[in-house]
Structures are given as C-alpha cells and as structure tokens.
Structure 1
Amino acid sequence: MIELIKDLLINYGTNERVAQYFSNTIAVIVIIMVSLIVDSIVRKVLLRTLKSYTEKTKAKWDNIIVEKKVFDRLARIVPIGIIHAFAPVFPAYQMWIQRIAFACIVFIVLLALNRFLDAINYIYSSYGIAKVRPIKGYIQVVEITLYTIGIIIIISVLIDRSPWILLSGVGAATAVFILVFQNSILGLVASIQITTNNMLQIGDWIEMPKYGADGDVLEISLHTVKVQNWDQTIIMIPTYLLISESFKNWRGMQESGGRRIMRAVYIDVTSIKFCDEEMLAGFEEIQYIKEDLQNKRKEIDKYNKDYKVNSAHAANGRHITNIGIFRSYIENYLKNHPKVSQNMIQMVRQLQPTENGLPIEIYAFTNEIAWADYEAIQADIFDHILAVLPEFDLRIYQGPTGYDFSKLRSI
C-alpha cells in the first residue's frame, strides 16, 4: 500500500523522499482511522448487545462482570490487534511494531483479568460464607502472580528472548524476591491460618489496644485488616500481626446473645449488722425477698433450737444480717429483671474486703448485646441498687470530699 501511494506521488512529480514520508503518514492515518472505526463498532454494537443480553438473563453474576467493565477492557485488544496485523505495511519497523503491540495486548489482558478477579470477589462477597471465609487475600495472591508472569512475558517479547531465560534467573534472585515480597508472603500465610482456623470474620468486633484497634472488621485482605473503631476512625492492621500477637474477638459474646455485667458496689463495713425483729418485719414487706426471708428465719430458728443456742448474746448461734438480706434481694431482683438473661449464669458474691469497703459484685448477662442498650441496662440496674441500699440500713463507701470537710468545719 505504501509503495502504491509512493509511486502515485512520484508520478505526479513529488520528490522521492517527500513521497516516502507522505505515503507513510497516509498509511499511519488510515490504520488509525480503521482502528478507531472498528473500536467504535465493537463498543457501540457488540458491547451494547452484550450488556442488553446480560440484563435479560436471570443470573446476576454476568451483570456484575459487565459492571466491572471486564469486556470493556478486552475490547481494547481489537484496535491494538489491527495495528499488529498492519505491521507488515512498515517492513523497516514491523518487528518493533508487533512486539510493542503484543506487549500492549498482554497488558490489556492483565487489566481485564484484574477486573474479572474483582468481579469474582464481589460476587462471592454477596454470599454469607464470605464473612466466614473471605477470599480477597487469595485473589490478591493470584493478581500478584498474574502480574509477575505478565511482566516477564512483556519484557521477554520486547528484548526478543525466551521467557524461560528470565525465569531461570528467578532462582538466583530468590533472596531478593523474598525480601521484596516479605509482607505479601507473611500476609498469605496469615490469611490461610485465619481462614482455616476461623479466627476472624468480617463484621467481628475485635480489640487490639497496642495498635489502637477497637471496633468492627470491615475488610480482610492479603496485607491488612481494616477495622472501623467506635469513634468512626479507620485503622489498618497488618494481617500477619493477628497471628503473631494476641487480640480479643467479641464474636462469642455476639453469638451467645448475652453481654456480661461484672461490676461491684462497695459497702461501708461499719453499716453491716445483725437484723432485729423490727428490721425483719420491715424486710418482709419487700416482695422480692419475703418468701426467702421467711424460709431463712425458719431455718435459723430450727438450727438455734436444735443446738440449744443461748439467745441472750448476739454472738451465739446464727442470725440474719442486713448484708445477707441485701444479697438475696439483688439475686431475686436480677431474676425478675426483663433485660437480664435467665439462661446464663447469675451470681451476687462478696469479694475480699479492701480499704474501700466490702465489694458486692454483680455477675450476670444482659439479653441485649448492642453497646448503647447494654450500657443503659447496666446503668438502670445499678441506679436501682444504689438507691435501694439505704432501705437495708447499709451505706455505700465513698471517700471524703471537700463537701464533707466543709460540713465538719460548720459543726
């Protein structure tokens, strides 16, 4: 074609050198125009037809592949292929044109495969199993492998050498390869262990104070785990650290449906005493402990009678204390609380006395696990406990404050 245009221009009296440049320019313009026309046809006809067809099918995966523009990437091969086919038109540059065109085709295929892998991950993420067994880390490994192979092929084509010659040098560069891809290798091993042992899932609430992580897992990838903290900040933790260091996963609490309350109130030990008849009569008016108190009084009376206890002194025999009645009251209060789980352990116990008084610890589980709901339930329980303490002639321990000293000064 070039020779034909060149001869035609020479016949019209054009200089041979000018005719050569002009014919080459015309050939380039023609090839570019053909490529653009074919590219336009592919995009406006084939791609639109394909998109219309996928919209009519019941399956959703083909729509996602179209949305990820996998076929748009592949369509770019067509104009490059036309340039590759027309390379013989320029004999002097044919080899380089074909090499560069082929390298471009390989690169476009890599981009298309990258989009296709993204589509696979997106499709997989729509299933519930994706939270338990995420595959993004594996897909990233495949992407790295494909890009490595693609780059080797592109380089081998451009320098006109067999890819095996380049691959044979990989063995000698293993140490460098391991150093460069150290994080990727560690991340791959960690991803496999995390997935195999079901250590972490998307949506889990984890705590890793050393790295400032306290929130929900948003994403698990080859190199990092993305966590959204409760203050809405995003933190990225290297995946391998979840294997090499410890972290707390709250998934067990979420799956159980109950969230633990473990908090103590400190009783002033000087307010603890035996109950007299007047106090016991008043306590029997409290519904939560009426039956237990009556049973307890019968049990103690029987014990003292059987062992012929001298009731003249309070130190003899067994007696009911206000702290014991208070513990019984809290136990029954928790059993009747609608927001406290009755299927999990409940316990009201005394801990070792301290300089701050006698700790009475409440150990129970709420039937709500949402943070705000849990805190509201816990606050409601302790509001009641603190308010009802004086009814048992008990005092909460509190260190003296400036207000207390000002009252002493005024006396």
Structure 2
Amino acid sequence: MDMQALISESQNLWQQLGQHPWLDTAISLGTLLLIAFIVGRLVHFLLLHSMRLLSRQAPLRWLDALLDSKVFNRLAQMAPSLIIQFGLVLVPGLGDKAEQFLRNLALAVTLLFLTLASSALLSALLVLYGRTSHARTRSIKGYIQLAKMVLYIFSSIVIIATLIDRSPLLLLSGLGAMSAVILLIYKDTLLSFVASVQLTSNDSLRVGDWIEMPQFGADGDVVDITLHTVKVQNFDKTIVSIPTWRLMAESFKNWRGMQQAGGRRIKRCLHLDASAVGFLTTEQEQRLRQVSLLSDYLERKQAELRQWNAAQGGHGELSANRRRLTNIGTFRAYAEAYLKAHPSIHPDMTCMVRQLEPGAQGIPLEVYCFTRTTDWLEYERIQADLFDYLLALLPEFDLNLFQQPSGHDLRQGLQDGSARATAHA
C-alpha cells in the first residue's frame, strides 16, 4: 500500500512538472550545473594527482615547472564549462536565444581558462630557461611579458566577440581604426620592446653586468631585465629601475669588458712639490746605485749622459750645457720598475709612470697600470698598497708631495716668523 502511494505521488509530481515547463527546465539546468561541478572536481583531482605521482616516480624538471606554474590547474578548470557547453542540448524547454547565450558564456569561460593555462605555460618556460646557463647572461623575461600581453589582448577580443556573438574580425577592424590611439597608449611598451631586442641582439647588456648610468643614480649590478624596466642593484644595496628604452636612447658604461679582460686599471696621480725637484748629487747617485731596481737604469743613463757631455767639448763645463740625472726622473724610473716587478700588476697590459702638465697643484706624476684581478676589494687593497709605498719612498729621492697649506701650517708659519723676529730683535 505504501509502495502504491509512493508511485502515485511520483506520478502527481511529474504531472505537476508537466504543467510547469519552466520548473522542469530549471531542475534540468541545475542538474547539469551540479554534474559539471562534480566532473570538474573529479578531473582536477585525477589530473593533478596523476601528474604528482609521475613527477615523484620519474623526476622531470619540466613537469615540476608545469606543476608549480599551475598549468594543470587551469586546464582542469576548463572541464565544467565544457560539460555545460555540450550538455545544454539535453536541457528541455530551453529557448534558442537562452541556449545560445549560455553556450557562448560557457565558451567564453573555456577560453578564459585556456588563456590562463597558456600564460602559466609561458611562466613555466621562463622558469625552465632560468635554470639554464644562458639565463645568467641573457634574459628572456621581456619577451615572455610581451607574449603574455599579446595573448591577453587577443584573448580579450575573442572572449568579447564570443559573448556578443560577433566575429572577432569586426572588433579587430575597429581596433585598426584606433591604431593611433593604441600606439600612443603603448608607446613605452613598443619602445621598450625594440630596445630589448637591440640590447639582446647586440649583446650590450646581460644579467650580472656592472653598469654605470649617473643620470639615474645607477652604479651596480643588473639583477633583472624585463620588458619595461631594467633593475640595477647599487653597491649600497639600493635598487634603481631604469626604463629599458632609455638604455638605447642614452649612454651607459658597462664594466663587463674589464671583467672579461682579467685586469682592472689603476690611474692615479702623485702631485709632487715643484720646489723639491732638482739634480742628483754624486752622493745621492752612489746611494741610489745600491737600489736593485735602479742599478741597471742608473748605469745605462750615466753612460748615455757621459757620451752626451763628452760630445759637448769645452762647452760641457757650463751647467746649462751638461745633462744630469734628476731626482724626479730617477723616481719615475724606479716607480715604473717597481710596478713591472710587482706580482699583483698584470704584465701583459699597459704599465707606465708618466709626467703630466704641471699646474697649481704641483707636478702630476701619473701611475697607469692594470691589476691581475678584477675583484673590487682586492683591487682597492693593491692600489692602496702601491701608493702607500710610493708616498713613503718620496723622501728617499728628496721629493715632497704637494699639499695645500692648512690652518696648522699657517699657524706654524706665523709662530716661526714671530720667533725669528724676536731673535733678531
């Protein structure tokens, strides 16, 4: 009896549904949505679970990158919209317009997740490229960003065309008429892309290069090259972002050549006091002859001078007609010999000590050479050691370093002058 009552109630329910078609349509549509949701969760679980098991059993770098970039997550999210898109034909009482609208909406959602999956795939490719040795010198991040931008633009056009049920070509033709506005909006993007291509093709800039660009306050290592900006980490650990196109429009200094050459230049002057410059006496020559780095130079130079002076005949008695050794010239020769014998100075690169034009700061004696290392700390240590020694050696040649008078010097001079005046009085 109870069974008959249940069957009777079911028949009454179906009769009522037959009297209300919209209710039948709503229930069918809700059932389709529920099935799409369940299938979507099932596909998501099975796809991700199988990919994780595969990556554990056979470690694949590319599969790990796809999982981390959520490529399979985006692909699994396409399942519900696909179920709805192809299941709408089974919903009774659904009008043509409503069915077309829902199908277009489902197709738009499918395209959206397909776009997100493609973007995640590009991110995975960037991660895989970052693990290669080429990524240390050349960055493709700008190209990936440009590819994503183009992907989003065309996907947006296709999705909008799908929702309004129009051909994407109509929207593209409308965009063609707005090309001037589009070029104005994306001017920096286009300039940056062209600059990025030129920088990469000419090998003008790499990740890890030390560059200087004073107009932007940049003096450090390139840490990232993107489509729009180049990030430089200064030596004080600050980050400077430079528009990519500015690197082609303006000049910058790249120290990569120095690092590849294996030697870093030392170019610094010793400003000598001109009043201390003079000829060497016989006693000074005898004393300096005992210096091992000067013995060959003094012997060769004195032989040359004796030959010159002997050729002058009787006129050689006058001081102005005779050539003699000077303390500044001997010191210059010693400094050059000392640099060439120094173990930290590169023997295959330019090494010289030259005298520049005298001026208000004395006589500049420039040390020009290259160290064997490009390491900054080691370079500064070598340079400091060289000049510490040369500065301390100046009194051996009766030379003085030029220095502007300080307050202490003026005060000492006034005291000495006052003492002399008192003594004379």
- Scaled by the length of structure 1, the TM-score of the pair is 0.91
Residue aligning to 1:228 = 233
Residue aligning to 1:4 = none
Which of 99, 102, 113 pairs up with 2:118?
A: 113
Which of 293, 297, 302 pairs up with 2:302?
A: 297
Residue 288 of structure 1, CA deviation: 1.8
User: Helix, strand or coil for the counterpart of 1:86?
Assistant: helix
Residue aligning to 2:176 = 171
Residue aligning to 1:401 = 406
Residue aligning to 1:128 = 133
User: Helix, strand or coil for the counterpart of 1:315?
Assistant: helix
Residue aligning to 2:65 = 64
Equivalents in 1 of 2:56, 2:16: separation in Å?
58
2:61 counterpart letter in structure 1: K
Residue 240 of structure 1, CA deviation: 1.0
Residue 22 of structure 1, CA deviation: 6.7
Equivalents in 2 of 1:43, 1:281: separation in Å?
93
Describe how 1:165-244 pairs up with structure 2 within 5 A: 165-244=170-249
2:244 counterpart letter in structure 1: T
Unaligned runs of 5+ in 1: 1-6
The RMSD of aligned alpha carbons is 2.5
Describe how 1:368-407 pairs up with structure 2 within 5 A: 368-407=373-412
Residue 372 of structure 1, CA deviation: 1.9
**Cα–Cα, structure 1 residues 171 and 21, in superposed 2: closer, same or farther, change >3 Å?**
closer
Residue aligning to 1:256 = 261
Residue 16 of structure 1, CA deviation: 6.5
Kindly indicate whether the alpha-carbon contact (under 8 Å) linking 2:17 and 2:23 is maintained by their aligned counterparts in 1.
Answer: no
Which of 330, 340, 345 pairs up with 1:325?
A: 330
Describe how 1:91-102 pairs up with structure 2 within 5 A: 91-92=94-95, 93-102=98-107
The structure in which a higher percent of residues are helix is 2
Unaligned runs of 5+ in 2: 1-7, 417-425
Residue aligning to 1:45 = 46
Equivalents in 1 of 2:399, 2:344: separation in Å?
26
Deviation per CA, 1:91-126, whole angstroms, max 9, x where unpaired? Answer: 143222222211111111111111111111222232
Equivalents in 2 of 1:245, 1:102: separation in Å?
48
User: Helix, strand or coil for the counterpart of 2:325?
Assistant: coil
Equivalents in 2 of 1:280, 1:97: separation in Å?
104
**Cα–Cα, structure 1 residues 385 and 17, in superposed 2: closer, same or farther, change >3 Å?**
farther
**Cα–Cα, structure 1 residues 321 and 62, in superposed 2: closer, same or farther, change >3 Å?**
same
Kindly indicate whether the alpha-carbon contact (under 8 Å) linking 1:55 and 1:63 is maintained by their aligned counterparts in 2.
Answer: no
Kindly indicate whether the alpha-carbon contact (under 8 Å) linking 2:137 and 2:208 is maintained by their aligned counterparts in 1.
Answer: no
Kindly indicate whether the alpha-carbon contact (under 8 Å) linking 1:226 and 1:234 is maintained by their aligned counterparts in 2.
Answer: yes
Residue aligning to 2:355 = 350
Kindly indicate whether the alpha-carbon contact (under 8 Å) linking 2:270 and 2:366 is maintained by their aligned counterparts in 1.
Answer: yes
Residue aligning to 2:55 = 54
Higher Cα Rg, which structure: 2
Residue aligning to 2:5 = none
Aligned length: 405
Q: Percent identity?
A: 40
Kindly indicate whether the alpha-carbon contact (under 8 Å) linking 2:145 and 2:227 is maintained by their aligned counterparts in 1.
Answer: yes
